[in-house]
Amino acid sequence: MKIVLKRFLALCLLAWLTACSIGNAQNYPELMFVVDSSGSMQSQLEGRMKLDIAKEVLLAVVAELPSEVRIGLAAYGHRSKNDCQDVEILIPPGGGEKTKLISRVKELTPMGMTPIALALTKVAGHLESRQAETTIVLLTDGLETCGGNPLGVVKKLKQEGLLFVLYVVGYDIKENEKKELMNLAEEGDGRYFSAHDTASLLAALEIVRKDIEGKVEKAKTQKIQKKTGLGKLHLAMPADALKSLRGIQIRRKSDANVIKKVEISAADTTHPLPAGEYELLLDFANPNYRSPTSVLLQSFDVDGNVVADVTLGALAFNVAENLADNNISALLIIDRGTGRPFVRIEPQNNDYYLFKTKPAPAGIYDMAIQYYRSPQATVIATNIAVQAGKMSTVTLDSGFVLKKPGSTSVTGWDLIRSGSTETFLQVRRGSDNQEPLWRRFIVPPGVYDLKVYVKGMDEPLLVGMDLKVRKGETLEFDAGL
């Protein structure tokens, strides 16, 4: 009788432990990669086939994923050249281990079409019975080519209540195609990333990996103790980023009330908070005792006994000394995914903070300068990859300066990329002086044409063609006027 009772209790304990294990496993995130293996992925990038680069980066990121993440894989265009039905679920959502996925990824060959809508539909067919939220990562180098409507598919799936978020990585995407993919990611409650080379593709997928790691940690959290009602915000960034930061603000989301405003002098800080929904703002320092420039960073939730982690990267600037000319009205760091400025810094005749290292969330950025009296901002660096906890450096060491003519009255000049009709840089003088016509301007390496506007003439003069601005050099051009 005692033996039977012991066996019964042992079975009960085993069943309880199994149920707990299953319950915890059901909370772990699922990750589904949808990889473009269409014919266009045969194209060369950095001297290699695009799909080979994508596979290498994907495998590197997968290798670093937590073991708890359940991984799936789908591909399209990998078996047939002209078949719009060529979509295959290689590993169903939640059905694979890392080693299995690595093996299947290595087998992919670029051949066919781009049936994105069908691929998303087939993936969704495997999600109907899933209890955990699935993160779908679509990696594509182009738009739908089979007449489908990916945006309509995602809208329909969301209306049906499927648990998923959709991240879209636009890999070597044409500029006029980006908006459609951004809309797709937005409809899928995810994010869009633009990648143009190995580094930016890795940065994009690293952001996804970090998001998944956060979900794993959340799933692991066991709330054994009774909640105190207090949680914490843990904020970390590279130490050098503090040079341009005055402090932070924490704002309650429900009523926009700032409940904490503090200067920070450490790269790693913790802030106790009542449970609730909040917004984090960065206060960028300005010179001459001006109020800081406040930037809304992100929203976050705080639960009792839980730490909300926010880890920023940083953007450092390596500016050639001869180009540090005080003719800049504003520096803009632009989120490439949204096309909107993350931060706009205006020196107002004091550029002390202008090129100080700046904190930024992980992402892909462009950088633009609004020059003094120029009608529009000039993009001087693109596709800058920022990773959480790491510092990225932008080197600005090439430029252009127009030599002041002896007698001709110049009212402005335009720098145009050779072979293009779009003006890259517009410079205009003031009504009462010649500023900033003869200043030094930061200009990326490239080949340019130069048009000069002369007083009394209705049309500009094309005074220079195929002017080469080389890396590490400032081209001083004499227009011969």
> Are residues 135 and 258 both part of a single domain?
no
**Boundary of a domain, candidates 395, 417, 436:** 395
In the three-class reduction of DSSP (H, G, I as helix; E, B as strand; rest coil), residue 44 is classed as strand
Q: Note if the pTM is more than 0.75.
A: no
One domain for residues 37 and 123: yes
Q: Are residues 333 and 418 in the same domain?
A: no
- 255 with 198, same domain? no
Q: What is the mean pLDDT of residues 237-241?
A: 95
362: tokens are: 């992980």
pLDDT exceeds cutoff 60 at 173: yes
pLDDT for residue 428: 92
Lowest average pLDDT, out of 203-207, 209-213, 468-472, goes to: 209-213
Q: What's the mean per-residue pLDDT of the chain?
A: 87
Q: Note whether residue 277 is domain-resident.
A: yes
SS3 for 56?
Answer: helix
Dihedral class, residue 147 (left if φ above 0, else alpha if ψ from -120 to 50, else beta): left
The residues, ordered by sequence, that sit 6+ positions from 378 with a Cβ below 8 Å of its Cβ are 368, 369, 370, 371, 424, 425
C-alpha span between 24 and 37 (Å, rounded): 35
Percentage above 70 pLDDT, the chain = 91
Asked if 248 and 292 touch (Cβ cutoff 8 Å), the reply is no
Name the pLDDT band for 168 (thresholds 50, 70, 90). very high
pLDDT digits (tens, 9 = 90+) for 268-307: 999 999 888 999 999 999 999 899 999 999 888 887 777 8
Answer with the residue of higher pLDDT: 133 or 48: 48
User: Is residue 82 domain-shared with residue 148, that is, in the same domain?
Assistant: yes
The rounded distance, in Å, linking the Cα atoms of 413 and 206 is 43
CA–CA separation, 152 and 256 (whole Å): 35
Number of domains in the chain: 4
By CB atoms closer than 10 A (0-12, 13-18, 19+), residue 40 is buried
Q: Is position 15 within any domain? A: no
- At 225 the pLDDT is 39
Kindly state whether residues 132 and 147 are assigned to the same domain: yes
Residue of 101, 46, 114 whose CA lies nearest to 72: 101
> What is the pLDDT, as a whole number, of residue 229?
64
Separation between Cα atoms, residue 411 and residue 400, nearest integer Å: 17
Task: Name the amino acid, one letter, at 314.
Answer: A
Please tell me the predicted confidence (pLDDT) of residue 126. Answer: 86
Q: Is 471 left (phi over 0), alpha (psi -120 to 50) or beta?
A: beta
SS3 label, residue 402: strand
Segment 366-421, tens digit of pLDDT: 999 999 888 889 999 998 999 889 999 999 999 999 999 887 799 999 999 998 88
Tokens 């050639």 -> residue: 320
pLDDT reading at 128 higher than 80: no
Helix (H/G/I), strand (E/B), else coil: 337: coil
Integer Cα distance of 235 and 269 in angstroms: 5
Average pLDDT estimate for 67-78: 91
Look at residue 11 and tell me if it is in a domain: no
Q: How confident is the model at residue 215 (pLDDT cuts 50, 70, 90)?
A: confident
Which of 420, 363, 414, 409 is CA-nearest to residue 388? 363
Which CATH number belongs to the domain containing residue 247 in this structure?
2.60.40
The pLDDT value given to residue 163: 86
| Residue ending a domain, choose from 256, 278, 311 | 311
Higher pLDDT, 281 or 231: 281
User: Are both 243 and 216 inside the same structural domain?
Assistant: no
Domain match, 285 and 391 both: no
Q: Report the distance separating Cα 240 and Cα 391, nearest Å.
A: 8
Q: 11 pLDDT exceeds 90?
A: no
Please indicate, yes or no, whether residues 211 and 295 belong to a single structural domain of this protein. no
Same domain, 102 and 172: yes
CB of 428 closer than 8 Å to CB of 411: yes
Query: Does residue 225 sit within a domain?
Result: no
Mean pLDDT of all residues in 162-181: 92
Any domain includes 1:
no
Question: Do 297 and 273 share a structural domain?
Answer: yes
Q: Are residues 83 and 172 in the same domain?
A: yes
Per-residue confidence (pLDDT) for residue 12, from 0 to 100: 42
Contact 273, 230 (CB under 8 A): yes
- The CATH number given to whatever domain includes residue 184 is 3.40.50.410
Domain C-terminal end among 257, 291, 311: 311
Q: How far apart are CA 384 and CA 392, in angstroms?
A: 8
Q: What is the pLDDT of residue 222?
A: 41
Beta bridge partners of 49: 44
Classify residue 44: in a domain, yes or no. yes
- Position 91 in a domain: yes
Token pair recorded at residue 128: 């109907």
55-64 pLDDT per residue, tens: 999 999 998 8
Q: Of the given ranges (39-43, 122-126, 322-326, 431-435), which has the lowest mean pLDDT?
A: 322-326
- Is the pLDDT at 72 greater than 70? The verdict is yes
Range of the domain at 326: 314-395
Confidence of residue 228 (pLDDT cuts 50, 70, 90): low
Q: What is the pLDDT of residues 89-122, one digit of tens each?
A: 999 887 767 888 888 999 999 999 999 999 999 9
Least confident stretch, 119-123, 323-327, 429-433 = 323-327
**Domain contains 13:** no
pLDDT at residue 66 greater than cutoff 70: yes
* Distance from C-alpha of 256 to C-alpha of 263, rounded to nearest angstrom: 20
Higher pLDDT, 31 or 133: 31
